[in-house]
Amino acid sequence: MLAICKYLLNTSTELSILLISGSPVLHSFRMPQGLDYIKLPCLGRDESGKISAKFLRKKPQEVTRLRSEIIKTAIINFEPDLILVDKKPYGLQGELKSTLIYLEQYSPQTKLVLLLRDIIDAPSITIEQWRQNNYYQALQYYYDQILVVGMPEIFDITKEYNFPENITSKTRFCGYIDRDYGYKKPQVIRQELNLKADEKLVLVTPGGGGDGYHLVKTYLQGLEQLPPQSKIRSLVIYGPEMPKDLSQNIWQLVQQFLHVHLLEFTDDLASYINAADTVICMGGYNTICEVLSLKKKAIVIPRMKPVQEQWIRAQRMGKMGLFMTINPNQLTPKSILEAVLGSINHDHSFSHVDRLDLKALPRISYYLYNLVYGSYYCFFNNKEKLYDIIDVYSLRAVS
Query: What confidence score (pLDDT) does residue 277 get?
Result: 96
The radius of gyration computed from the CA coordinates of the chain, to the nearest angstrom, equals 22
Q: What is the pLDDT of residues 339-398, one digit of tens each?
A: 999 999 887 666 578 889 999 999 999 999 999 988 544 444 334 334 343 443 333 333
Residue 294, helix vs strand vs coil: coil
Query: What confidence score (pLDDT) does residue 279 get?
Result: 98
Helix (H) or strand (E) holding 32: none
Q: What is the pLDDT of residues 254-286, one digit of tens each?
A: 999 999 999 999 999 999 999 999 999 999 999
Find out whether 103 and 75 touch, Cβ atoms under 8 Å: yes
Q: What is the pLDDT of residues 206-218, one digit of tens each?
A: 999 999 999 999 9
What Å distances lie between residue 85 and 19, 93, 133, 394, 396, CA to CA?
10, 14, 16, 23, 27
Distance of alpha carbon 18 from alpha carbon 221, whole angstroms: 44
Q: Is the pLDDT of residue 314 over 60?
A: yes
Q: What is the pLDDT of residues 199-246, one digit of tens each?
A: 999 999 999 999 999 999 999 999 999 998 999 999 999 999 999 999
**Average pLDDT, rounded, for the chain:** 92
* pTM (two decimals): 0.91
Tell me how far apart the 2 most distant CA atoms of the chain are, in Å.
Answer: 70
Q: Which residue from 22, 152, 16 is spatially nearest to 86, judged by alpha carbons?
A: 22
Top-tier CATH class for 2-178+358-398:
alpha beta
pLDDT confidence band for 315 (50 / 70 / 90): very high
Distance of alpha carbon 367 from alpha carbon 180, whole angstroms: 22
Q: Is the pLDDT of residue 172 over 80?
A: yes
Helices (H), the chain: 2-11, 60-78, 97-106, 123-132, 135-142, 157-160, 165-168, 186-192, 213-223, 244-254, 269-275, 285-293, 309-319, 333-345, 360-372, 386-398
Query: What confidence score (pLDDT) does residue 396 get?
Result: 35
Share of the chain above pLDDT 90, in %: 84
Q: What CATH superfamily is the domain 186-355?
A: Glycogen Phosphorylase B; (3.40.50.2000)
Q: What is the pLDDT of residues 284-303, one digit of tens each?
A: 999 999 999 999 999 999 99
Distance of alpha carbon 343 from alpha carbon 211, whole angstroms: 24
What Å distances lie between residue 265 and 88, 236, 257, CA to CA?
27, 10, 20
Find the angle CA(50)-CA(314)-CA(234) to the nearest 5 degrees.
95
Distance of alpha carbon 120 from alpha carbon 88, whole angstroms: 10
Q: Where exactly are the structural domains of the chain?
A: 2-178+358-398, 186-355
Cα torsion 127, 129, 132, 133 to 10°: value is -110
Query: What confidence score (pLDDT) does residue 381 get?
Result: 39
Q: What is the pLDDT of residues 128-156, one digit of tens each?
A: 999 999 999 999 999 999 999 999 999 99
Residue 290, helix vs strand vs coil: helix
